[in-house]
Structure 1
Amino acid sequence: MQYTTITSIFLLTISLLTQSTSAIGTLGINVASSGVDGNCRDSDSWSEALEKASAFTNYIKTYAVSDCNMLENIVPALNSNTNMKVWMGVWEVDEAHFDAEKDALTTYLPSISKDSIAGISVGSEALYRGDLTPQALASKISEIKSLLSDITDKDGNSYSGVSVGTVDSWNIWVNGTNAPAIQAADYIMVNAFPFWQYQTANNQSHSLVDDVMQAVKAIQEAKGTDDFYISVGETGAPTGGNELTSGQAPLTVDNASDLFQEGICTLLAYGIDVNIFELQDEPTKPLATADDGSSSDVERHWGVYDTDYNLKYSLTCSYGSN
C-alpha cells in the first residue's frame, strides 16, 4: 500500500469529537474461517468465536461463504447468538469460486434470519490485487443483489434489500479510477494498515485517520452524496513477528493498544464504524509479502486474542464506552 503524507486537517482531537456521544461508531471484528490449528472452523468453533467476539461487539466480518463451508457451519452459532450480525464476504477470484459462493448463499441463507446479516461484501481488495476491473466488480455486486431477491430467510422474509457492497484498500478509493464499483455498491469498506506503510509509532495513528478520511472524501465525491455508509473494513497492528524496516512501529502489544486508543478510537469517536483485524492469532498463516517483495510472519500475530483466547489489550476506548 502506498505511503501518504499526513494532512493535519483531518486530525481532530478526541475531546472535540466526543462532544456528541450520539456520533460514536461501532466496533466490529474480522474472523477467519480457519482456527489456530489451520483447520476449518466447525460449528462448535464458530460458536466459540462468536462468544469471544460478543465480549466487545455484536458485529463480525468474514471473507467467503463457501470456503471452509463457512456459511453452513456458522448457521447454528447465528441461530443461538441472535444478537450477533455478520458482514459476510463473497469471494470473486474466478468464476468457479464465485459460483460456489452463490450456491452457498442460496443453500444456507434460508436457514438463518435476515436480521443476522449486516451486509454482504463482494470481493476483499479485489481492485487492489487487480482481480477485477471496477466495471466487472460492479457487475458482480449487481448479480449478488439480484440473487438475494430470490432467497427468503427461515421466517419467510425476503433477502431483497440486504446491503451489498465491497471492501478495498484506502488508496484504491482515493485514486479516482473506481467510480463504477462505488456507484454499484450500497456501502464501501476501507482497509488501512499503518504497518504496511512502515509508519513509526508516533505517526501510525495520524496516518490511519488521515488515510481513512481521504478515502471517505473521495468515495462521497464519486457517489455524489455524503448520505452513504462508509466504514473501516480492516485495521489494527501486529503484536509480534518480523519488522520490515528499521524505525517502524514496534511489533508489541503496547503498540497495538496505542493504535487502538489513539487511532481506532478517534475514528469511532468521529462516528465511523471500524472492524478491527482480527479476532485471534493465526500461527499457521502463510508469510505475508510487502509491496517491496520482503516477507514477514506478522500476519500470524494480528489477533486481539492469542491462541488460547486471552485478550491482549483492552478494546474499550479510554474516553468512554464503544
Structure 2
Amino acid sequence: MHYRALLSVIILVAPLAVSAVGTLGFCLGNMNPDGSCKTTADFAADFTAIKANTDAKVVRTYSASDQDGHPCNTPSQILPAAKAAGMQVLLGIWPDGGGYTKEKAAIDAANPASFGDSFYGITVGSEGIYRGTYTVEDLIGWIQDVRKSYPNAQIGTADTWNGWANGSMDSIITSDINLVLANGFPYWQYQAISNATESYFDAMAQALGRVQEVSKGLNKLHFINGETGWPGTGGTAAGAAIAGDDNMKTYWQSAMCGLLDWGVDIFWFEAFDEPNKPDSTGDNGQVSSEQHWGAFSSGRIAKFDLHC
C-alpha cells in the first residue's frame, strides 16, 4: 500500500488525533560527549541549538537519576534550563533493574510542578515490555504510584509500535495513563530508505488503530510517536537499511515531516550524536554503533536543514 493511502487509514481510525499539524520533539540524552552528566548550563546550550535550528517545542528524557553509574539527577538540571528557554520536558523514569524508587525520588526532588508549563509530564519505562525487563503488572503499579504523586500530570509509557498493535499493551491502554508513546524505526526493520516511509506509516497506523479500538475513541489518550530516526554517517548498516547523513535527511523529510503534517506528534531519536555511547549487540549477535543518531553533531551543529 502506498504511504499516502496509509495516511488515510490513520485519518479514518483517529480523526481527532490528526486535526492539526503535529508537534516535533527530540529525545535528549543526559550525558556530555566526555561521559559527564549534563548540568543546567549544558542543557541550556542544547536548547539554544534546538530552538535556533528546528521547530521543536519539547524534549523527552529517559533516566532521572543514574546513567551508567553517574548520579545525574537530570530533572533538577534540565527543568530550570527548559523554563528559561521556553521549552517543555517529558521526564523519563527508567525502572529497569530495580531502579524505580531512586528514579521517582529524583523527579520528586526537582518539584516539577513548580516549573509550570515547562513540565510536560512523565513517562514510566521505555520498551521494557518489549525487552522483558519488567512485567505489565510492574508497569501498572509504577504508573499508579506516579499518578498518586502527580494526579493532574500527563502520565504515560513508551514501547514498540508492534507491542501496542498486537495486544501486549492492552491493559496499559486501559490503565490510568494519558500518554501512549509508540516507537517505530523502519531502520530496525531492515528497510531500505526507499521503503522506509511506507513501512513507518504502516507501523504507526497499526499502533494507532489498536490504541483507538481498545480505548474506545482516544478521548482520554494522547497518541505520540515516541521515537523514530535514522543513523547518520558513521553508523552501522542493518540489512538493507544503510546509515548515512543523506539517508537520515531523506527519512526526516519524507517520513517524519510527512507524519507531522498529518497531525501526529513525534519525538525524533535523537537530538545530538553521543560519541560516549558503547556499541550494542542485537539478538542476532550483530554489533551496532549507537553514536551517530543525532540530528545534530555532538558539537550541536545541525546536519541538514531541520525544518519541514
Match of 1:35 among 32, 37, 44: 32
Deviation at 1:293, TM superposition (A): 2.1
1:244 matched to which residue of 2? 238
Distance 1:51 1:22 in 2: 30
SS at match of 2:224: strand
Distance 1:7 1:312 in 2: 26
Cα gap change, 1:310 to 1:267, in 2 (>3 Å): same
Deviation at 1:222, TM superposition (A): 1.7
Q: What do residues 117-151 of structure 1 show as CA deviations (whole Å, max 9, x unaligned)?
A: 11110001111111222222112111101022xxx
Contact 1:11 1:206 in 2 (8 A): no
Match of 1:233 among 226, 239, 245: 226
Output the amino acid matched with 1:243.
A
Counterparts of residues 78-227 of structure 1 (less than 5 Å): 78-81=82-85, 83-95=86-98, 97-109=99-111, 112-148=114-150, 160-184=151-175, 185-227=177-219
Contact 2:19 2:262 in 1 (8 A): no
Q: What do residues 76-96 of structure 1 show as CA deviations (whole Å, max 9, x unaligned)?
A: 313422x2001110111143x
SS at match of 2:202: helix
TM-score normalised by L of structure 2: 0.88
Gaps of 5+ in 1: 14-20, 149-159, 318-322
Contact 1:249 1:255 in 2 (8 A): no
Deviation at 1:250, TM superposition (A): 2.6
SS at match of 2:73: helix
2:57 matched to which residue of 1? 58
1:320 matched to which residue of 2? none
Match of 1:44 among 41, 46, 54: 41
Match of 2:80 among 73, 76, 79: 76
Distance 1:99 1:117 in 2: 20
Contact 2:75 2:112 in 1 (8 A): no
Distance 1:225 1:22 in 2: 14
Output the amino acid matched with 1:62.
T
SS at match of 1:54: helix
1:303 matched to which residue of 2? 294
Output the amino acid matched with 1:63.
Y
Deviation at 1:291, TM superposition (A): 3.2
2:262 matched to which residue of 1? 270
SS at match of 2:162: helix
TM-score normalised by L of structure 1: 0.85
% identical equivalent positions: 34
Deviating more after overlay: 59-68 vs 131-140: 131-140
Distance 2:270 2:112 in 1: 28
Distance 1:304 1:88 in 2: 21
Distance 2:32 2:114 in 1: 23
Deviation at 1:112, TM superposition (A): 3.9
Deviation at 1:114, TM superposition (A): 2.8
Contact 1:38 1:282 in 2 (8 A): no
SS at match of 1:23: coil
State the Cα RMSD in Å. Answer: 2.1
Q: How many residues align?
A: 290
Distance 2:47 2:125 in 1: 23
Q: What do residues 191-242 of structure 1 show as CA deviations (whole Å, max 9, x unaligned)?
A: 1111111101110111111101110011111212133210111101001222
Q: What do residues 140-180 of structure 1 show as CA deviations (whole Å, max 9, x unaligned)?
A: 111101022xxxxxxxxxxx311100001101111112211
Contact 1:79 1:112 in 2 (8 A): no
Runs (4+) of structure 1 exceeding 4 A deviation are 5-9
Output the amino acid matched with 2:238.
L
Deviation at 1:283, TM superposition (A): 1.0
Output the amino acid matched with 1:129.
R
Q: What do residues 281-301 of structure 1 show as CA deviations (whole Å, max 9, x unaligned)?
A: 11120112233221111x100
